[in-house]
Amino acid sequence: MTVAVFFGCSFIAFGPAFALFIFTIARDPLRVIILIAGAFFWLLSLLLSSLVWFIAMKASNDKDQQLQRGLLIFGVMFSVLLQEVFRFAYYKLLRKASDGLAALSEDERSHISVQQMAYVAGLGFGIMSGAFSMINILADSLGPGIVGIHGESQYFFLTSAFMTMAVTLLHTFWGVVFFDGCENRRWWVIAVVVALHLLVSGLTFLNPIYEGSLPPAYVILVSMAVWAFFSCGGSLQNIQQFLTCWKNDAGSEVAS
């Protein structure tokens, strides 16, 4: 596989996340720390869920393919649930830290709002999730081989890249919405986020029938983007103002 495939797929998978990191997170050290801690929490959830899957797998019959596939599906579902549990735990941790910071600062306000923390935490989860899903595949794409030579899909790398990008951005939006739901005690929001995560992961069980997994994932991505935008205070008016301000004063900074 060629270098073009490698670069193309890596930019598809990590381009948006990288851009978000560079433009919104890299300048502020506190956000970088929250990002890395978010990645760490995701990693912990993955560790625990792999442990559970590993134990289940070792305790079962190795030869039974159907059983192994069933166990894998169970592992995926359990992992999704555990990720959301850890997202909640991270929310609790950040809330306490934010309260502590606010109590100590002069004007009783924290330097970073809950929405910003939600966004950064979601992005941390997303980047780590995407990296773990995609990096080995990218590394393999630099090596020799022919994709799909045994009859599998030719589009393995491309679809993996698109799915990774979708999952990364989805984690970001889920983070925003989830934290918002926790803040305002709307538990149905949390239930919907969990359900959507389970749905997106469940749809990937249809792979390699990519029509079943990718387009729905992107539909959910767009709707989550809209929901997250509105849940953290955006509105159509904001967008309008953003666009008209920009058109009116080309030189001045856009106030958002």
Partner 1 sequence: MAENLANVLHEQLSEGFPDTHRNNSGEGADRRRVVEGADQELNGQPPSARPSQRLESEEDEDEELTLKYGAKHVIMLFVPVTLCMVVVVATIKSVSFYTQKDGQLIYTPFPEDTETVGQRALNSILNAAIMISVIIVMTLLLVVLYKYRCYKVIHGWLIISSLLLLFFFSFIYLGEVFKTYNVGMDYITLALIIWNFGVVGMICIHWKGPLHLQQAYLIMISALMALVFIKYLPEWTAWLILAVISVYDLVAVLCPKGPLRMLVETAQERNEPIFPALIYSSTMVWLVNMADTDAESRKKPPLNSTMPESQAAPSQSAQGPDDGGFTSDWELRQQETLGHMESSEETRRQVQEMPSARPPAIQSDDSEERGVKLGLGDFIFYSVLVGKASATASGDWNTTLACFVAILIGLCLTLLLLAIFKKALPALPISITFGLVFYFATDNLVRPFMDQLALHQFYI
Residues binding partner 1 (CB under 8 A): 29-30, 32-33, 36-37, 39-40, 43, 46-47, 49-51, 53-54, 57, 69, 72-73, 75-76, 79-80, 83, 92-93, 95-97, 99-101, 103-106, 111, 128-129, 131-133, 135-137, 139, 156, 159-160, 163-164, 167, 200-201, 204-205, 207-208
Under 8 Å between Cβ of 181 and 190: yes
State the nearest-atom distance from the C-beta of 199 to partner 1, in Å.
Answer: 12
221 CA to centre of own chain: 10
Nearer to partner 1 (CB atom), residue 39 or residue 194: 39
| Unique residue bearing structure tokens 């442990």 | 51
State the nearest-atom distance from the C-beta of 156 to partner 1, in Å.
Answer: 7
State the nearest-atom distance from the C-beta of 236 to partner 1, in Å.
Answer: 32
User: What sections of 142-209 are H helices per DSSP?
Assistant: 156-183, 187-203
Residue 224 token pair: 């989550």
State the nearest-atom distance from the C-beta of 34 to partner 1, in Å.
Answer: 9
CA–CA separation, 26 vs 33, rounded Å?
Answer: 10
CA–CA separation, 202 vs 190, rounded Å?
Answer: 18
| Unique residue bearing structure tokens 């539909």 | 219
Nearer to partner 1 (CB atom), residue 122 or residue 231: 122
- Of 44, 195, 178, which Cα lies nearest the Cα of 118? 178
State the nearest-atom distance from the C-beta of 76 to partner 1, in Å.
Answer: 5
DSSP code of 23?
I
Nearer to partner 1 (CB atom), residue 35 or residue 228: 35
134 CA to centre of own chain: 13
Under 8 Å between Cβ of 13 and 130: yes
State the nearest-atom distance from the C-beta of 246 to partner 1, in Å.
Answer: 31
State the nearest-atom distance from the C-beta of 85 to partner 1, in Å.
Answer: 14
Nearer to partner 1 (CB atom), residue 41 or residue 227: 41
Which of left, alpha, beta for 28 (phi over 0: left; psi -120 to 50: alpha)?
beta
Under 8 Å between Cβ of 166 and 101: no
CA–CA separation, 101 vs 231, rounded Å?
Answer: 24
Nearer to partner 1 (CB atom), residue 118 or residue 231: 118
